[in-house]
Each structure stands twice: as C-alpha cells, then as structure tokens.
Amino acid sequence: MRVLLVEDSEFVREQFLRLFEGLDFVEVVGYADSEEDAVQAIAVLKPDVVLLDLNLQVGSGMHVLRRARAGGYVGKLWVLSSRDPDFYRTLCEKHGADGFYDKAHEQLKLLDDLRVLGGEKPLF
C-alpha cells in the first residue's frame, strides 16, 4: 500500500517511519510539510493512504483535506493530530477524513488499521 506522510516535524516523520518498519505492505512514497506540497503530492503520487497532520509549516492540514476531496482524491485520508480528538475527529470526518488518530495515544490503532486495510489482519 502506497502511503504519503504529511507532517511538518522531521522528528515525528522519523518516528512514523520507525513505526512502519517491518510492515512489508507499507511503502512510504513521499513526504510533505506544507499545504501546497501535500496537495501536489496527492495529485502526482496518487497514494492509497494519506496520513495527514493538521499543523503544517505553511497552510493547514484541514485545507489539504478539503482540497484533496474537492480534487477527486478517493483514497484514504487519515488525520494524525495531537489536537483535541473529541472536537477534531468529528470536524475532520465532516470534511472527508476516513479516520482520525491521536498521535500520542493511537499509534497502535493506526498500525492495526493499516494491517486491516492492507489485508494483513482480519477485521475481527
């Protein structure tokens, strides 16, 4: 599965890359740290999954979410954030997100969901 990682922190990007080590079905095909770079990468790379931070160096992850859907992207858009999950989960889903993960507390859930999406783990 082709994954685009949209994250403004190099440290956090490296953490996610380490998290994905050993997942043979995950191929990180690119990175972006700004709204424009993310929108362009989605259009050019056509990833199966976009892992999207809401905080970016320039622009907004929420704008990326809206622009990707408006541009016809049909793959999975999963938001990664440390913002209030109760508020932002609903807001992100309203704007086309397929999932919302708290960066600090839901990394294992993210891995499980990637395994399910990649056919590596049964749904239950």
Q: For position 89, which CATH number holds?
A: 3.40.50.2300
93-96: Cβ within 8 A, 24+ apart: 95/62, 95/65, 95/66, 95/69, 96/65, 96/66, 96/68, 96/69
Mean per-residue pLDDT of the chain: 91
Model pLDDT for residues 18-75, shown as the tens digit of each residue: 988 888 899 999 999 999 999 999 999 999 999 999 999 999 999 999 999 999 999 9
Is residue 123, in this structure, part of any structural domain at all? no
- The reply to whether 43 falls in a domain is yes
Which stretches within the chain are classed as H helix? Answer: 10-20, 35-45, 61-70, 85-94, 107-117
Angle between helices 10-20 and 107-117 (to 10 degrees): 50
pLDDT at 124 over 60: no
Task: Report yes or no on 13 lying in a domain.
Answer: yes
Q: Could you tell me if residue 122 is inside a domain?
A: no
Residue 122: the pLDDT is 60
